[in-house]
Amino acid sequence: MKKMIILFFLSLVPVLGFSQAVYPGNGNSGFGGVLGTGNFSINDNGTTVTITFTKGSGGFNDAIVVYIDSDGSRNFPFTVTFTDEGDNLRKAISGRSSGSNTVLLFPGSFEADYALAFAPAESFGGLWQLETGSHTFISSANLSSFSTTDPVYTVSFTWASIGLTGGPGDNFDFLVTYLSTTAFRANETIGEGLEGGNPGFGAAAFTGFRSYYQGGYDTPLPVELLSWSATPADNKVILNWETASELNHAGFEILRSTTKDGKFQSILNYKDNDAYGYKGQQGGKYSFVDDRKVYNGLTYFYKLVDIAVDGKRTEHTTISAIPTDGKPVQPGFESPAEFAIKGLYPNPFNPSGNLEFSLPKKGFVSVELYNVIGQKVAIAFQGTLEGGKNHTNRIEISGNGLPSGVYLAVVNYSGQRLTSKFTLLK
């Protein structure tokens, strides 16, 4: 018999400004470690974005350039078309000096709109909108100090100056380089790539970027998993999964084992197959057939791993299946109880809906709601629930206090999470 749990939202969690996100350098020390062993922290008050740069051991004698992708339609995937040499900071942005050209290649899905450049030696910091020829100056970046030895520097710009409002959900992607004002690039960065020696005037390619969200959310939910299932077939298992959103995501890996607590081995990696890489911020559907050394009647366990562009790995819930040729499953091979979302209905709903899910065994559960840009807007439930085979938990979710729109219900259990997408209509 199903256990019925009827709960309305315990509390709404507001999205607050003045939070801070910290981004470390890549550890390189080409020009003394100023950026590579330093870090950026970013915060905002809904109007102004402030960057605090804590430098590494060397003197800050050169220039830092922050390239910003705010989806402002400039859409530059590289700097090869930049020819601006109007002053030293413009040279730094363009990577040019008297005809010499350092081509900077941005990572996939990153297309620069703006550049923030600052240097104590120039006694100036500024924000420019990127152009094929001469970049358009937007505003001063208010560099806090012109000393090359101070440990901390701040610069700031408004959300409006990069074409955004600064409201909840606003965000921009960015990457950072350190270079001389003659455009000789160091290997010190914030963002992936440039791991070898200083590229000098040669081409330099980034492979990953960073993201900042209004209020300090740093890529809060890189992958939101809508579904993850295993369907048994004759000497094979068909694995399907769907994502609601992918932010700063590189791709997926699948691990397999014949025991739930045993050693898992990789059977799929996005690096070997582009079909399992990043599908875009709106997510997508994936499918994989596991038919290598798969035998009928045995239980196979699978873990889905999403890998962010910075290499961070997130394991999703473990699922299982027993391949069969259509004959009745023999005793001893029963399917184990699983952590699974069985549905959210009705969908769309107004004013409330029912979320059903199962647990392998009794344990602590939290159910949270997020909007589609990854901000947590409510806690629906926190507490201990029953689990096991033939047991389903149900939570009634109220839309009171939330505007109409698309949301994600995220169920967290024992370090694992599953997501169900729903629409609230009012």
Place of tokens 């030293």: 88
| 414 in Cβ contact with 401 (< 8 Å) | no
Q: How is domain 20-213 classified at the CATH fold level?
A: Immunoglobulin-like (2.60.40)
Q: How is domain 3-14+338-424 classified at the CATH fold level?
A: Immunoglobulin-like (2.60.40)
Q: So what's the architecture of 223-321 in CATH?
A: Sandwich (2.60)
What radius of gyration, in Å, describes the C-alpha atoms of the chain? Answer: 25
Do 3-14+338-424 and 20-213 have matching folds?
Answer: yes
Query: Given this model, what pLDDT does residue 216 score?
Result: 61
Query: Given this model, what pLDDT does residue 335 score?
Result: 55
pTM tops 0.95, yes or no: no
Query: Given this model, what pLDDT does residue 333 score?
Result: 46
Query: Given this model, what pLDDT does residue 373 score?
Result: 63
DSSP string, 334-393: PPPP--EEEEEESSSBSSEEEEEEE-SSSEEEEEEEEETTS-EEEEEEEEEE--STT--E
Q: Is beta strand 100-101 parallel, antiparallel or unpaired with respect to 204-205?
A: unpaired
How far is Cα 227 from Cα 279, in angstroms, rounded to an integer?
A: 16
Query: Given this model, what pLDDT does residue 371 score?
Result: 76
The residue ranges of every structural domain in the chain are 3-14+338-424, 20-213, 223-321
- In a structure prediction context, what are the per-residue pLDDT tens digits for the chain, which is 426 residues long? 233 332 322 222 223 333 467 788 888 888 899 999 999 989 888 899 999 999 998 899 999 999 999 987 778 988 988 888 889 999 999 988 877 778 888 887 788 999 999 999 899 999 999 998 899 999 999 899 999 999 999 999 999 999 998 876 678 889 999 998 888 888 999 887 776 678 888 888 888 788 887 766 544 556 777 778 888 889 999 999 888 777 778 899 999 999 888 889 999 999 999 899 887 767 789 999 999 999 988 889 999 998 887 777 888 878 888 888 766 555 544 455 677 888 888 888 888 889 999 888 888 888 888 776 667 788 888 888 988 878 899 998 888 878 888 788 888 887 677 888 888 887
Note if the bond before 346 is cis, omega within 30 degrees: yes
DSSP letter at 109?
Answer: T
Place of tokens 């910290």: 22
How far is Cα 63 from Cα 140, in angstroms, rounded to an integer?
A: 15
